[in-house]
């Protein structure tokens, strides 16, 4: 899988030996762009597979079996064309920094020895290389990508702008990716497993109640809802007047939240409950309840829960 174009300064500045780079370094680095990481040294050699231990902080957690099998077949025929990156551990073993997919495929191909770029790197340098190398892969799923950004921010105290420069993304792209981590666990799992798309997930962020996000995500899967349909649904339920007048809701927020959750559970679908509101002049605005359904069968189910029998005269 080809790396994304535009390396940024992060990975390129970590390795001074450019004989076997992971990706092309950025052109015309200025003195201001150089960091202390440039002092890391590297050399290419061969190592037994059994001496290489995997990085416990590897950002990528998902490896497709069919893709690994294809790579293993290629390695059997052509060998490992791009060296793995490792660093020596005090116990004489070598910790993998970048190239776990190649290492796994080499094992499937039956290789006992693989080419590596041996790097002298600190723990933080090793982590940065591993994260950035993985973030540049096209098949990294959105949640793993977001977790990589979060790791960079947490370990290196980097701002979103600094992260964006290191991975050659816009700051908005980094910010939007990190927002995905605020979704409920179930929704993140659906996104990670590609049951819903990133577009669906971004639309779900427009909903403020986690249970609503979960229910709609389930509907996206079961009803094969498009991103556009999902966006329309969220917009319809999240419209806010452009110039709201001063009002006071007749129901406390905590009570409204608990009641909405009970309605979700009772009807098994998204429910929007808006209380009556009192304006500053004493006038009232009516409240309403919206109960969502996605098919005629679903409507009959909801009506049955409400005690309405369509068969009755």
Buried b (16+ CB within 10 A) or exposed e, 140-163: bbbbbbbbbbbbbbeebebebeeb
Query: Are 26 and 158 within one domain?
Result: yes
Q: Is residue 4 part of a domain?
A: no
2 within domain boundaries: no
Predicted structure pTM score: 0.54
Nearest-angstrom CA–CA distance, 96 and 58: 9
CA 150 to chain centre: 10
259 and 129 part of one domain: no
The span from the CA of 98 to the CA of 85, in Å, is: 5
Are 222 and 282 within one domain? no
Q: Is the pLDDT of residue 3 over 90?
A: no
88 and 23 in one domain?
Answer: yes
Domain limits for position 252:
244-313
Please state, as a whole number, how many other Cβ atoms lie within 10 Å of the Cβ of residue 60.
21
286: helix, coil or strand?
Answer: coil
44: β partners: 117
Residue 105 belongs to domain with CATH number = 3.90.1530.10
Q: Read off φ and ψ for residue 274, nearest 5 degrees.
A: -115, 125
Q: Is 90 contained in some domain? A: yes
Q: From the CB of residue 242, how many other CB atoms can be counted at a distance below 10 Å?
A: 5
Tokens 């094969």 found at: 224
Is there a single domain that holds both residue 111 and residue 198?
no
How many domains does the chain fold into?
Answer: 3
Query: Looking at the structure, do residues 169 and 116 belong to the same domain, yes or no?
Result: yes
Same domain, 168 and 65: yes
What would the pLDDT profile of 254-299 be if each residue is shown by its tens digit? 898 889 889 988 988 888 888 888 877 778 888 889 888 888 888 8
DSSP state, 137?
Answer: B
Could you give the C-alpha distances from 182 to 150, 202, 210, in angstroms and in order?
12, 11, 9
Shared domain check, 43 and 155:
yes
Instruction: Please say which residue of 180, 200, 216 terminates a domain.
Output: 180
Classify residue 180 by its DSSP letter.
G
Per-residue model confidence as pLDDT tens digits over 195-223: 999 999 999 999 988 988 999 999 999 98
Task: Give catalytic residue positions.
Answer: 100
268 phi-psi bin (left φ>0, alpha ψ -120 to 50, beta other): left
Shared domain check, 164 and 16: yes
* 227 plus 135 within the same structural domain: no
Q: Check residue 205 and report its DSSP letter.
A: T
How far, in Å, CA of 216 to CA of 290, rounded?
A: 14
User: Do residue 27 and residue 60 come from a single domain?
Assistant: yes
Within a domain: 32: yes
Give residue-wise pLDDT tens across range 76-126: 888 887 888 888 888 888 888 888 888 888 888 888 888 888 888 777 777
50 belongs to a structural domain: yes
């Amino acid at each position: 899988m080809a790396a994304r174009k535009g390396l940024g300064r992060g990975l390129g500045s970590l390795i001074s030996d450019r004989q076997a780079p992971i990706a092309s370094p950025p052109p015309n680095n200025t003195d201001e762009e150089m960091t202390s990481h440039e002092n890391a040294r590297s050399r290419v050699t061969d190592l037994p597979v059994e001496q290489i231990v995997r990085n416990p902080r590897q950002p990528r957690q998902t490896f497709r079996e069919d893709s690994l099998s294809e790579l293993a077949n290629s390695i059997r025929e052509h060998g490992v064309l791009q060296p793995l990156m490792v660093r020596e551990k005090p116990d004489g073993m070598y910790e993998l920094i970048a190239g776990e997919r190649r290492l796994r495929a080499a094992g499937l191909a039956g290789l006992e020895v693989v080419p590596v770029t041996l790097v002298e790197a600190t723990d933080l340098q090793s982590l940065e290389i591993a994260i950035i190398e993985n973030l540049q892969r096209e098949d990294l799923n959105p949640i793993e990508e977001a977790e990589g950004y979060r790791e960079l921010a947490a370990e290196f105290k980097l701002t979103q702008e600094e992260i964006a420069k290191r991975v050659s993304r816009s700051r908005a792209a980094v910010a939007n990716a990190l927002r995905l981590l605020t979704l409920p666990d179930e929704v993140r799992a659906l996104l990670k497993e590609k049951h819903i798309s990133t577009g669906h997930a971004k639309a779900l962020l427009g909903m403020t109640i986690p249970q609503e996000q979960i229910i709609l995500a389930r509907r996206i899967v079961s009803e094969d809802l498009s991103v556009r349909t999902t966006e329309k649904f969220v917009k319809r339920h999240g419209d806010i007047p452009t110039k709201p007048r001063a009002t006071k809701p007749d129901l406390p927020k905590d009570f409204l939240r608990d009641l909405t959750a009970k309605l979700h559970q009772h009807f098994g679908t998204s429910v929007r409950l808006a209380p009556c509101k009192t304006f500053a002049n004493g006038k009232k605005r009516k409240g309403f309840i919206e109960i969502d359904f996605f098919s005629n069968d679903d409507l009959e189910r909801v009506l049955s829960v409400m005690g309405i029998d369509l068969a009755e005269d």
